[in-house]
Amino acid sequence: MSAIPREEFESRTRHARRIMRERGIDGLIVTDPISYYYFSGQRAPAALRLRPNIFLLPLDGEPAIVSWSGPEMFARVYNRPFPSWVEDRRIYPEVPFTTEEAVDWGLRDAIVDRDLDSSVLAIELGRETVLSLPLRDFERLRRDLPKVQFVDSGPVVWGCRMIKSAWEIDCARRACDIGGRAWRQTLDELEPGVTVREIQTRIMQRYNEAGSDLDSGPPTVLGATGEGGAFRKGDVLYLDGGPAYLGYRMDFTRRAVFGKPTARQLHEHNGMWDLLFQVMDRMKPGVALRDIFEYSQSLMAGHPEWRNYSDHPAKRIGHGIGLGNEPPSINAFDERVLQEGMMLTPEPKIESVDGLVNPEEHIVMTATGWEQLSNIPGWELRIIE
């Protein structure tokens, strides 16, 4: 079974059905690997993206999954639980198993069996969703089910995923704790001459020792100007990203300078983090995301000496975070408002001669404000002698 508690799936399906009922949707089809994991509990590795995994949730009745034979075979041969709570499993053999250009993986029968072949079905058709089914296969599904009206699933999927449960928040808190401690321990031992790869290797080892997901990947490490990616005196180390715990990712930044910092470096670093904390103080449930963006831009306008990275068409100074970088966006265009349970990473940025000055914290909205999960290490510019 999945490491995610059964109650989480029960809550997620209830929430999805509530939104489906409000929007006149009879069934939800999920093909995106990340959302598939969210609803089914079964991981769908990116390396196996040519093997579709599909979750089908009817407005009433039991859900179904369509999945390749590997997980079922591993569970059977090694006497392990199947990695999903869903009982109706439509298993197809290894791929490629047919020479047809368009494949029916078993989804059509699952839809027909639930009397959804003359209904409104939501699937990934919008800007904030990703259809992980070959286009020809989806076109075949349309032809095989001519009475079905397909609509975008984004309002349902993100209506669920944007608001985190207490369990999800605990997973993110654990990821931030694992990652933050790994960063702090690594920063404590750095000296000039250390390379980007060495920093990433040490951090990754500490992630693994502390119990992060094995596929977390290394943090972003930038700023080295020496040969072979080595950090020299005067270089500013930029750390971004972080590990995942049960899929929930850490995302914040920290910076360090090799040698004594200049007045400019301190001004940029301390000034930008002060600006970030002013922006965060405006973040409360009910406040529009675009208002947060405009406030940040007004503060940035008071520093003409800085090059504002956020002054570009996307105009984004932050995003949702969970199983990945997610909606909503803190930008000039997102009309949504902050809600309790949203997890975000506010991050106004400037471009410096040293690289990016990108203060970023990982927070979750509470009933009255926010809780900061990115407490370790501290935000101050670390000095490495």
Could you report the per-residue pLDDT of 207-250, keeping only the tens digit for each?
999 999 999 999 999 999 999 999 999 999 999 999 999 999 99
Q: Do 18 and 105 lie in a common domain?
A: yes
How far apart are alpha carbons 385 and 190 in whole angstroms?
9
Contacts of 180 (CB under 8 A, 6+ apart): 242, 250, 374, 375, 376, 377
In b/e form, how buried is each residue of 273-310, taking b as 16+ CB within 10 angstroms? bebbeebbeebbbeeebbebbebbbebbeeeeebebbb
pLDDT band at residue 261 using 50, 70 and 90 as cut-offs: very high
Question: Phi and psi (nearest 5°) for 104?
Answer: -100, 105
pLDDT band at residue 271 using 50, 70 and 90 as cut-offs: very high
Number of domains in the chain: 2
Q: Do 52 and 115 lie in a common domain?
A: yes
72 within some domain: yes
Q: Decide if 90 contacts 111 (C-beta within 8 A).
A: no
pLDDT band at residue 47 using 50, 70 and 90 as cut-offs: confident
- Token pair in block for residue 93: 């053999």
Q: Do 218 and 308 lie in a common domain?
A: yes
Q: Do 173 and 314 lie in a common domain?
A: yes
15 within some domain: yes
Q: List pLDDT tens digits, range 143-172.
A: 999 999 999 999 999 999 999 999 999 999
CATH label of the domain that carries residue 370: 3.90.230.10
Q: Do 121 and 197 lie in a common domain?
A: no
Q: What pLDDT is attached to residue 1?
A: 61
- Mean pLDDT rounded to a whole number for the chain: 96
Domain's final residue, options 130, 161, 192: 161
Contacts of 277 (CB under 8 A, 6+ apart): none
139 within some domain: yes
Q: Do 214 and 74 lie in a common domain?
A: no
Q: Which of 382, 139, 377, 156 is nearest to 256 (CA)?
A: 382
Domain's final residue, options 104, 135, 161: 161
Q: Do 239 and 109 lie in a common domain?
A: no
Query: Mutual orientation of helices 196-210 and 166-188 as an angle, nearest 10°?
Result: 130
Q: Do 123 and 189 lie in a common domain?
A: no
| 96 prior amide bond cis, ω within 30 | yes
Tell whether the model's pLDDT for residue 315 goes beyond 90.
no
113 within some domain: yes
Could you give the percent of the chain with pLDDT greater than 90? 92
Tell whether the model's pLDDT for residue 2 goes beyond 80.
no
pLDDT band at residue 373 using 50, 70 and 90 as cut-offs: very high
- Return the amino acid letter for 167: W
Q: Do 170 and 151 lie in a common domain?
A: no
Q: Which of 121, 127, 97, 125 is nearest to 107 (CA)?
A: 121
48 versus 92: which is more confidently predicted?
92
How far apart are alpha carbons 7 and 168 in whole angstroms?
12
Domain's final residue, options 129, 161, 193: 161
Q: Do 337 and 241 lie in a common domain?
A: yes
110 within some domain: yes
Q: Do 146 and 176 lie in a common domain?
A: no
Provide the residue range defining the domain that includes 184.
166-384
1 within some domain: no
118 within some domain: yes
92 within some domain: yes
Q: What pLDDT is attached to residue 99?
A: 86
Q: Do 215 and 101 lie in a common domain?
A: no
